Amino acid sequence: MGWPLRWFGALGLALLVGCAQQPPRDDSLYQALGQRAGIQKIVEGMLLHIAKDERIVEHFRKIDIVRLRDKLVEQFCVEAGGPCRYTGDSMAESHKGQNLTRSDFNALVEDLIDAMDEQNIPVATQNRLLARLAPMRGDVIEK
């Protein structure tokens, strides 16, 4: 193979690699939630609601709330398409042995919605976040 064919082969390979790259990350939800600062306000509001929620507060009594806040912010940031990295345990691992019920899960979601309402997050944006978090439900309840 002469140099022109090798050059075209290398060019073709470079074009294929360039085309195979992932599309740019959609961070529109991250932006709509107010970026990391907005997500932190939402998480902190949710934790305040949980602290007053007799249905589920017992599940949080022996938990390091600061660490929980930080991991939830990371996780919500990742799920929203933000530039974060989640460094916590998997949902299945962190909820293992807690035997959380559907009612417990639903109460937490209600507390999250209340926190988003307080931050004036539009319902459509709330639904986008909830849809991204919903697949974790199976890793949380009845484990």
Burial of 121 (0-12, 13-18, 19+ CB in 10 A): buried
CA gap 115, 7 in Å, rounded: 58
Residue 114, pLDDT score: 98
* Structure confidence at residue 67 as a pLDDT band (50, 70, 90): very high
Q: How many residues does the chain have?
A: 143
- Cα 62 versus chain centre, distance: 23
- Domains plus CATH for the chain? 25-140 (1.10.490.10)
Give alpha helix (H) positions in 1-143: 3-20, 28-32, 35-52, 65-79, 91-94, 102-118, 123-133, 137-140
* pLDDT tens, residue by residue, 11-53: 444 444 444 455 567 899 999 999 999 999 999 999 999 999 9
